[in-house]
Chain A
Amino acid sequence: MRALDRKVLRDLRTIWAQALAIALVLACGVMVLVLSTGTQRSLTETRDAYYERHRFADVFASATRAPLGLLPRIAAIDGVAQVEARIVFTAMLDLEGMAEPASARVISLPALGEPALNLPLLRSGRLPDPLQPDEVALSEPFAQANGLQPGDRFRAVLNGRLRTLVVTGHLLSPEYIYTIGPGAMMPDDTHFGLIWMREPAAAAASDLDGAFNDLTLSLSRGAHTESVIAELDRILAPYGGTGAHGRDRQMSHVFIEGELTQLGAMARVLPPVFLIVSAFLVNMVLGRLIALERQQIGLFKAIGYATAEIVLHYLKMTIGIGVLGVLIGWGMGWWLGHAMTTLYTEYFRFPWLDYRPGAAPLVVSGLLALAAVVIGAVRAVAAAVRLAPAVAMSPPAPPVFRRGWVGDLGAALALRQTTMMILRSLSRWPGRAAVTLFGVAGSVAVLVASFVTFDIIDVVMEDIFDKANRQDATLLLHRAVGERAELDALSLPGVLLAEGVYAVPIRLGHGSRSKLVSLMARDPAARLTRVLDDDGRPIPLPDSGVTLPEALADDLGLRLGDRVRIELLAPPRAPWDVTVTGIIRQSMGQDVQMNRSALFALMNEAPQVNMLNLAIDMASLSALQAQIKETPAAAGFTLWADVRGAMEATMNESLITMTLIFSALGMLITIGVVYNAARIQLAERAHELASLRVLGFRRSEVGYVLVAEQMLLTVVAVPVGWVAGYGFARLMTQGFSTDIISLPLMISQATYAQSALTVLAAALASVLLVRRRLDRIDIVTALKQKE
């Protein structure tokens, strides 16, 4: 090994603590990149392979009742490759040992063999026998959550008749990687499942002999999805078509896409902070090292080393730090990627899901990290090699201090001399102070952006559960019925209040843009469910017109007072132009709200409801549940306490874990910056500080010079970090918002305070660590030491 290379290794060993601090900050950036892009890639590849092998459809449509005779016409649409007609309906289940009713989506399998599209994967047992109408296969997560094995029996209400069904096997489906029951917000494998039934049995159970109500298509390569959808809509319209859509409106697909979007946001927002801070740290530490070695640099030049060789020498040192950071980051990213992927398997039911980031995230993160440290090194190294050898050989002139504003300030305030030393040092090396300031501010910003998660969860949970939805339960009905249902429901055991809603799929159009969404038509006087304004206050639903969530209005380019086209995807289907009379913040979903009487006035019909929100006397809950299990009109029953519980559990598991990790990363920046800055101060001023001791200053007084300078910078950095943190939090909430979830940006004072306190504590701990070294310095040795 060449002598200069040995010097690289030995120098790195000397500054190992500082090098490690930088490497750790760098590692955070690398880690987040490997974690997010690696997980993104694993998820994408697994999904794509699963879709491909199990023939996930491209277009989805449903209708009320369409004759099978339509199928040749549909297959003939230009661009359609395969057509699969099915029967899909909802059933209430009565499971042993479960008081509350569960519900399931029943999906038909062809009378013989396997479906052409959305091929389920048999995990255990077998598919139902076409000759046995009571045989069904269950979705694996539902079967497992309820302990239903092949051969077991359970009871279901099919078409108003209580039936006993036999489980033949467990299935997974590419259509239901992420499964959410109707009206639910979170997956709930215990209360909602999928039932696959042979077509003759399904047709008999839903009175759909010779007909279908659900259609999936695959398209040939290069087909124009929009025109297929338009044609399909035209064909299905007379049969109660509710609007065909592509994968972009398929629930399971949308949730996976949302997750991928969020991973992408994570990869874009966080790593740059860590990489930039590392670059600055390298600049600071290397700048200092090179200043110390100016005589050695002069010597290298004197004995004939070319400038390029000297540059290379210091770059190797930088790259050494970079490589360390990259390796640590890869390791942590790999490990967390595994953990995160494992977490995903609880929500996303893939037949297999392994963390396989591939080489790309490793290579990209490695190159970015090395680029960051090399860029950080360039300035310091350039300054060193610009020195003429003769100049470099002589010791540097003592730093020039000026009286300037510091002196005036000191005189005016009668500051102690040790405080003057701090102020002079800050004004003499503003660049170095700026690095500390920037780093600590970055740290505060990352903390604000991660702590804000808790604020947002609070606001969202409060909006959803305390303000907007105050009902205890929601009862879904199989079909719309007259408003009298509200009164009828009061006769159910324990029901104190019942408020009906008419929910209907619509196509919302403005100019050339259109979207499929749900319209919720409700009574403006409703007390259980309410519409909230931007500040979370309940507002009355306007007498006429529609009220849209902000994200949807933005998507369609709609403003208050604009006219918007609504097309009901249920009879009478006629499109109407209505006015946008409200735009509200809404965290979950894209539901459009409308006054029920206004809607039915447009339809020229008596008002109807297909959903009932209930206030319940909880003492009678089990009686109510028992009754609902046997009510043929009921299609689903959701207890909001369960929804809230499931949601909180998810938050606790994934979000809070991630938040804690990011908080740790945020703190690491402060530690890296402050520790390095203090070490440099100590090294440069050991002589000066030792002289103070000789003069009779106590350890604590000398320590003050070191500690107070760093803490002063930290305190100044905090408000800067708050501002940056607000910007970060904004980027994060925007990046994390999807079609389904739009996050409000609410930063509480507690978040600001906690991020400041965390950073102050981290800074103090780091600088005290360095102060311990100061205490150990031998006065005599320090005085003899020549810079």
Chain B
Amino acid sequence: MTPAPTARLPILTTEAVTKVYRTGALAVHALAGVSLTLYQSEIVVLLGASGSGKSTLLNILGGLDQPTSGRVMFRDQDLTALGDAGLTAFRRAHVGFVFQFYNLVPSLTARENVALVTEIADHPMRPEEALERVGLAARLDHFPSELSGGEQQRVAIARAIAKRPEILLCDEPTGALDSKTGVTVLEALVEVNRDLGTTTALITHNAEIRRIAHRVIYMADGRIARVEENTSPMAPAEVSW
């Protein structure tokens, strides 16, 4: 459907990134040397068994966490050299997150959850516009408890894209949803990618979803097992699981 981006401009690059978690005497090598480049405006799907290090990688890419060794470059900027304040500024300016369990603030309405981001962003869209993009124009003043799972996830997407981020990182955004609802969420993601050119990385358990991506990265045991190019991504509606 969407053609692969013609000019392949690198936006995020990792070089031999490792992440070791130590709990007592035990050391878990969540990432065992990952080198990877994300290009501008592409959709990448990360696949892999549970525990293979997908979330860890995504968190490091988004500046939520620092690697144990290796380097992460955002364009010309070395993220691994940044402290807490620097990472916060990076996330604030460039990254949008979507998580499996939505992570909406229960005491704020849909509109206010989005406003949470637009209030601290530089050139945000209006919260109403963001919610309209994900098809929630009619649900502006509902609290999370009054929304279905799919609607809550779409609010989360609206919140992630409202600041027009260059990078959108989604950790199992459809994991908690049934297939029909999942499709509406993916459609929202693809539309944002097409309209705004947002680089999107998406973790999923569901191998079928790989069909909407430009590239698919397979992970196993903290390493990249292989990378697949997809010349003709399908529309989410055509995918079923």
Q: In the docked arrangement, what's the CA distance between A304 and B62, Å?
A: 11
B50 to chain A, nearest CB (A): 14
Task: Please count the residue pairs between chain A and chain B whose beta carbons lie under 8 angstroms apart in the complex.
Answer: 76
Chain A 299-333 interface mask (CB, 8 Å, partner B; 1/0): 11111111101000000000000000000000000
Q: In the docked arrangement, what's the CA distance between A2 and B65, Å?
A: 28
Find chain A residues with CB under 8 A from B88 CB: 301, 304-307
Find chain A residues with CB under 8 A from B191 CB: none
A288-307 residues at the B interface, CB under 8 angstroms: 295-296, 298-307
B105 touches A7 (CB 8 A): yes
Q: Say yes or no: is A3 at the interface (Cβ < 8 Å to chain B).
A: yes
Chain A 481-500 interface mask (CB, 8 Å, partner B; 1/0): 00000000000000000000
Q: Say yes or no: is A14 at the interface (Cβ < 8 Å to chain B).
A: yes
A295 touches B65 (CB 8 A): no
Segment of B7-15, B114-122, B129-137 engaged in the interface with chain A: B114-122
B64 touches A303 (CB 8 A): no
Q: In the docked arrangement, what's the CA distance between A116 and B199, Å?
A: 94
B46 to chain A, nearest CB (A): 16
Find chain B residues with CB under 8 A from A390 CB: 59, 64-65
B127 to chain A, nearest CB (A): 9
Q: Say yes or no: is B97 at the interface (Cβ < 8 Å to chain A).
A: yes
* Contact A299/B107 with A3-B112, A304-B88, A304-B92 known, Cβ cut-off 8 Å: no
Q: Say yes or no: is A393 at the interface (Cβ < 8 Å to chain B).
A: yes
Chain A 1-14 interface mask (CB, 8 Å, partner B; 1/0): 01110110011001
A780 to chain B, nearest CB (A): 16
A4 touches B116 (CB 8 A): yes
* Contact A3/B62 with A10-B107, A306-B85, A307-B84 known, Cβ cut-off 8 Å: no
Q: Say yes or no: is B99 at the interface (Cβ < 8 Å to chain A).
A: yes
B108 touches A3 (CB 8 A): yes
- CB closest chain-A residue, reference B118: A3
Q: In the docked arrangement, what's the CA distance between A305 and B85, Å?
A: 10
Q: Say yes or no: is A411 at the interface (Cβ < 8 Å to chain B).
A: no
Specify which of B64, B113, B160 is in contact with A3 (CB 8 Å cutoff).
B113
Q: In the docked arrangement, what's the CA distance between A370 and B119, Å?
A: 28
A303 touches B107 (CB 8 A): no
Chain A 671-697 interface mask (CB, 8 Å, partner B; 1/0): 000000000000000000000000000
Chain B 40-51 interface mask (CB, 8 Å, partner A; 1/0): 000000000000
Specify which of A296, A388, A393 is in contact with B105 (CB 8 Å cutoff).
A296
B105 touches A303 (CB 8 A): no
Q: Say yes or no: is A509 at the interface (Cβ < 8 Å to chain B).
A: no
Q: In the docked arrangement, what's the CA distance between A303 and B99, Å?
A: 12
Determine chain A's interface SS by DSSP, over half rule.
helix
Q: In the docked arrangement, what's the CA distance between A309 and B115, Å?
A: 15
- CB closest chain-A residue, reference B91: A304
Chain A residues with a Cβ closer than 8 Å to the other chain, count: 25
Q: In the docked arrangement, what's the CA distance between A699 and B182, Å?
A: 41
Q: Say yes or no: is B81 at the interface (Cβ < 8 Å to chain A).
A: no
B120 touches A393 (CB 8 A): no
Find chain A residues with CB under 8 A from B117 CB: 303-304
* Contact A303/B116 with A295-B103, A390-B64 known, Cβ cut-off 8 Å: yes
Specify which of A6, A296, A302, A388 is in contact with B91 (CB 8 Å cutoff).
A302
Q: In the docked arrangement, what's the CA distance between A298 and B65, Å?
A: 12
Find chain B residues with CB under 8 A from A388 CB: 64-65
* Contact A296/B113 with A10-B108, A305-B120 known, Cβ cut-off 8 Å: no
B92 touches A303 (CB 8 A): yes
B103 touches A393 (CB 8 A): yes
- CB closest chain-A residue, reference B116: A3
Chain B 51-80 interface mask (CB, 8 Å, partner A; 1/0): 000000001001011000000000000000
Q: In the docked arrangement, what's the CA distance between A378 and B39, Å?
A: 43
Q: Say yes or no: is A389 at the interface (Cβ < 8 Å to chain B).
A: yes
Chain A 438-469 interface mask (CB, 8 Å, partner B; 1/0): 00000000000000000000000000000000
Q: Say yes or no: is B93 at the interface (Cβ < 8 Å to chain A).
A: yes
B159 touches A304 (CB 8 A): no
Q: In the docked arrangement, what's the CA distance between A14 and B115, Å?
A: 21
Find chain A residues with CB under 8 A from B59 CB: 390
A581-603 residues at the B interface, CB under 8 angstroms: none
Q: Say yes or no: is B89 at the interface (Cβ < 8 Å to chain A).
A: yes
Q: In the docked arrangement, what's the CA distance between A306 and B119, Å?
A: 13
B120 touches A304 (CB 8 A): yes
Q: In the docked arrangement, what's the CA distance between A75 and B101, Å?
A: 92
- CB closest chain-B residue, reference A304: B92
B93 touches A304 (CB 8 A): yes
B119 touches A389 (CB 8 A): no
A301 to chain B, nearest CB (A): 7
Find chain A residues with CB under 8 A from B85 CB: 306
A194 to chain B, nearest CB (A): 68
Q: In the docked arrangement, what's the CA distance between A390 and B56, Å?
A: 9
- CB closest chain-B residue, reference A293: B105
B156 to chain A, nearest CB (A): 9
Specify which of B84, B97, B101 is in contact with A303 (CB 8 Å cutoff).
B97
B99 to chain A, nearest CB (A): 7
B119 touches A3 (CB 8 A): yes
A393 touches B99 (CB 8 A): yes
Chain B 14-50 interface mask (CB, 8 Å, partner A; 1/0): 0000000000000000000000000000000000000
Q: In the docked arrangement, what's the CA distance between A2 and B34, Å?
A: 40
A606 to chain B, nearest CB (A): 92
A393 to chain B, nearest CB (A): 7
Q: In the docked arrangement, what's the CA distance between A303 and B105, Å?
A: 13
A362-413 residues at the B interface, CB under 8 angstroms: 388-390, 393
B103 touches A299 (CB 8 A): yes
Find chain A residues with CB under 8 A from B91 CB: 301-304
Q: In the docked arrangement, what's the CA distance between A650 and B105, Å?
A: 58
- CB closest chain-A residue, reference B90: A304
Q: Considering residues B89, B92, B93, which has the most beta carbons from chain A within 10 angstroms of its beta carbon?
A: B92
Given A3-B108, A302-B62, A306-B88, output 19 extra A-B contacts at Cβ < 8 Å. A2-B115, A3-B113, A3-B116, A4-B116, A6-B112, A7-B107, A7-B112, A299-B105, A301-B88, A301-B91, A302-B64, A303-B92, A303-B120, A304-B89, A304-B120, A306-B85, A306-B92, A389-B65, A390-B65
| B interface residues, Cβ below 8 angstroms from A | 59, 62, 64-65, 84-85, 88-89, 91-93, 95-97, 99, 101, 103, 105, 107-108, 112-113, 115-117, 119-121, 159-160
Can you list 15 residue pairs at the A/B interface with Cβ under 8 Å?
A3-B108, A4-B119, A6-B108, A10-B107, A14-B107, A299-B97, A301-B64, A302-B64, A303-B116, A304-B91, A304-B95, A305-B88, A306-B85, A306-B88, A389-B65
By Cβ-Cβ distance, the 7 closest A-B pairs, closest first, are: A304-B92, A10-B107, A3-B115, A3-B112, A304-B91, A3-B116, A390-B65
| A interface residues, Cβ below 8 angstroms from B | 2-4, 6-7, 10-11, 14, 295-296, 298-307, 309, 388-390, 393
